[in-house]
């Protein structure tokens, strides 16, 4: 539920899928990059596990 994703030019981060919905939109800043398809493929299963859609 916490895949490691690579943000090009920034580095690797652990995505905490169970906390992603708790972030207030006001706190989000400008995007620093875009995730590749391989990282996107890791995120969906993590969110599905949190939401119970697995």
Per-residue pLDDT of 13-47, as tens digits, reads 887 766 777 888 888 888 877 778 888 888 788 77
The domain locations on the chain are 4-51
Question: Are 46 and 17 in contact, with CB atoms under 8 Å apart?
Answer: yes
Within 13 Å and on the Cβ side, how many CA atoms surround 28? 9
pLDDT band per the 50, 70, 90 thresholds, residue 52: confident
Note the pLDDT of residue 53.
66
- Strand, helix or coil at 6? strand
Copy the structure tokens of residue 35: 């995730």
47: how many CB neighbours lie within 10 A of its CB? 16
| Alpha carbon 22 to its chain's center | 13
Look at residue 50 and tell me whether its pLDDT is greater than 80. no
Predicted TM-score (pTM) of the model is 0.47
């Amino acid at each position: 539920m916490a895949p490691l994703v690579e943000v090009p030019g920034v580095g690797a981060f652990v995505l905490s899928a169970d906390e992603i919905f708790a972030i207030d939109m006001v706190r989000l800043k400008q995007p620093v990059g875009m995730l590749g398809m391989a990282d996107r493929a890791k995120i969906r299963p993590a969110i599905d596990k949190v939401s119970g859609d697995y």
